[in-house]
Amino acid sequence: MKKVCIVGASGKLGQYMVQHALDRGYEVVGVCRETSVGKLDKFKDRITIVPGDTNDRAVIKQAVAGCDGVLVVLVPWGVRDYSSGTAQAVMDYAEPGARLIFSCGWHITKDGKDQYSWLFTTILAIVNKLARFFRFVDIDDQVRACDLVFKSNTRWTVVRGSSLEEGESQGLPVWSKHVGDPVLESDLTRRIDFALFMVAALENDDLIHEAPAIVGCQTESAIAHRSFNGLKGA
Ligand SMILES: NC(=O)c1ccc[n+]([C@@H]2O[C@H](COP(=O)([O-])OP(=O)(O)OC[C@H]3O[C@@H](n4cnc5c(N)ncnc54)[C@H](OP(=O)(O)O)[C@@H]3O)[C@@H](O)[C@H]2O)c1
């Protein structure tokens, strides 16, 4: 892994990923909306910035050229297929064989075997309805984006984040295949460590075609279930 592209580099998760990628000595290309370029000022002498919407195919084509890996922040903003447009453009234009790592939340399911609490399902349904009504977020589009990824024959990993908090790094999160597994019960990860997991996944071939659901390695459930056999992060 020498050169990586970070799509959505200016957001909170994106900026952490830029830092982790630079720490590993990767050459970094960041894509962000033109209005957000200033958010990357602290990195501007060390990375190449390609301004533009992440679902703009020409922007993505330019940004991913020559990259061994692409880290994609999938966000369901707006109701114009922003997430699915971004995912498709990345898969269409990434170099053959490149590692592609996508971010999303626990609500995404790869095989339908995740077990959600009624509270989680109810809140998601309400948020989805309200957000679509006000036309600012379309969570179903993030679902469609991940379905496109799951069906592709690229070297993908979809990292499913728990609830997030800010704070110092605690180390690489642990993961499991299904929401509902006891190790994930604490439902909390530091955002900086979510980013760490995304960047580490670039060089972890065990994660190819997996959709790991992650949780902080210092959380109660992670510590209590250290021997759980789905636990591979630490
Ligand atoms: N937040 C959570 O609790 C949570 C929980 C689990 C998983 N996740 C996942 O974590 C990832 C990062 O989410 P985050 O909440 O932590 O946010 P974040 O890192 O701040 O990222 C938000 C991204 O959305 C972009 N964005 C904001 N408004 C937009 C708009 N109107 N149109 C297009 N793009 C826009 C931002 O770009 P600009 O810099 O240009 O604004 C930024 O790249 C996502 O994949 C999310 O599904 C989040």
Residue 74: CB within 6 Å of ligand 1?
yes
- 27-32 and 155-161 beta bridge pairing: unpaired
- Compute how many other C-beta atoms are within 10 angstroms of the C-beta atom of residue 8: 23
Cα(225) to centroid(ligand 1), Å: 30
Atom of ligand 1 nearest to the CA of 33: 40
pLDDT of the residue at 76: 83
Question: Is ligand 1 within 6 A of the CB of residue 36?
Answer: yes
Alpha helices (H) in 48-190, listed in sequence order: 57-64, 82-93, 118-133, 139-151
Residue 32 near ligand 1, beta carbon < 6 Å: yes
Judge if the beta carbon of residue 37 lies within 6 A of ligand 1: no
Provide the residue type at 159 as one letter. V
Note the pLDDT of residue 227. 65
Domain 3-224 classification at class level:
alpha beta
Q: What is the pTM of this model?
A: 0.95
Ranges of each domain in the chain: 3-224
CA of 195 to the centre of ligand 1 (A): 12
Three-state SS for 16? helix
Question: Per residue of the chain (234 residues), what is the pLDDT tens digit?
Answer: 999 999 999 999 999 999 999 999 999 999 999 999 999 999 999 999 999 999 999 999 999 999 999 999 999 888 788 999 999 999 999 999 999 999 999 999 999 999 999 999 999 999 888 988 888 888 899 999 999 999 999 999 999 999 999 999 999 999 999 999 999 999 999 999 999 999 999 999 999 999 999 999 999 999 998 765 444 544
Distance CA 85, CA 137 (A): 14
Q: Is the dihedral of CA 42, 46, 52, 55 positive or negative?
A: negative
Radius of gyration of the chain (CA): 17
Two tokens, residue 29: 């290309």
Report pLDDT for 230.
47
